[in-house]
Chain A
């Protein structure tokens, strides 16, 4: 069996495979992510970056192999306990996944409500996070009324608001101009500086160059460790 208690790892993958029918999206991936690492997963579109992130929060099950996250073995998490895994993550989805019928405020507040925070605290916290990402004036807008960049910033706000252990960001700057992208990058760096672990999937070479950190390459489902 696998034992993850003794080292500083927060995420471990052991010979993970993911197939969609006969299509191999990920092939034999083993990876160790230490606590407080800042990792970029780079690679062209279709390489399997989003799929890899999905496996981490049990958006989908692995086809083969094992994954441990912060002491939890993903293949043993029951339906009823899955929210405990998800609360370890703040996730910026590639397609944002904002609830279109709820305001920006409610979308971001949802994370805190779900973990049972007090109304007053939620009010204050959500406002301050929205201010940080620069969409405070859109607090009562519905997501369909926002530009792509604004939606992305709302998604980032939702990912950081609950102060998770790990942030997974799938193309978090994909719809942003470079100034806005800098704001997001600084936010992630700040989160990292406070002890958080960050995994960013992106094909944006410019972003990687600016940020620094550990870089992994995905190509046709294979993971390469440079150097």
Chain B
């Protein structure tokens, strides 16, 4: 094993140009895939963050009695996924509105009657803070008697989530394609290396080297290249991330959300994939080439 490693490093050094080209190409594939992954995990977190803010406002029909109100509150409370229900009287709502409008509040002064309805504010449990779940709960509430109208903020989220899912699918596909590309690149490099060294390989066979002895270093080389390429790609992404994240972060300053780099599990996974790509590329090309 030690001698295989020794020979592999020797070969990498002897074929410096080819090895660096391979490592760089793999690094680029990894960079593209992981950049996508970085974008998606952050977009995903952002979506979750937005969804957390979702609440349902249910407006009551005018003249709903105190008893009815109590029943409705209880009924809503019983829906699966509802965290709590708060009553907001039209007076409270009016005060809030006054506060929000500040300077223009004089407009409200001219009203001789409070036009706002009584309302219920419904918050969802954490597990139900997803657009489709919210929509389901909202429909249930809407069908209740005494409910005049219903409103839940960020209805656009639903549509956005669908588009996002599509993007995610595209992301997975891209990841797959780049993985295959990396395997392909690797198998061609090894093929080229074995072709350039076919005389050497033939001589090794003639003096009694086993197939294992001949192939071992190629495997180690491709694993080294996969590792270096993977780490290089992640490192390049990290540097880019640090450079641009401060700028992007500024635009989110007022939200309690920060952009994160890929989790260690995730980028270690990517590096493992890149190592695996190296190994597979080697396997494929040796299987084809070293037959003769």
* Residues of A bordering B, CB below 8 Å: 57, 59, 79-80, 82-83, 86-87, 89, 91, 93, 97-102, 110-111, 113-115, 119, 158, 162
Contacts and interface: CB of A to CB of B under 8 A. Distances in A.
B115 interface: no
Given A83-B208, A99-B203, A162-B207, 5 more contacts: A86-B208, A89-B208, A102-B200, A110-B209, A162-B208
B209 A114 contact: yes
Give the interface size bracket for B toward A. 10 to 19
Contacts of B49: none
B210 A83 contact: yes
A44 B72 CA distance: 112
A83 B199 CA distance: 17
Interface of B: 3, 14, 199-200, 203-211, 213
Contacts, number: 50
A82 B210 CA distance: 8
Contacts of A83: 205, 208-211, 213
Contact of A101 (B200, B204, B206, B210): B200
B207 A114 contact: yes
Contacts of B199: 99-100
A97 B206 CA distance: 9
Given A99-B199, A101-B14, A101-B200, A91 B206 contact: yes
A111 B203 CA distance: 10
Contacts of B211: 79-80, 83
A102 B205 CA distance: 16
A119 B3 CA distance: 9
A102 B211 CA distance: 20
Contacts of A91: 206-207
13 contacts: A83-B210, A89-B208, A91-B206, A91-B207, A97-B206, A98-B203, A110-B209, A111-B208, A114-B204, A114-B213, A115-B208, A162-B207, A162-B208
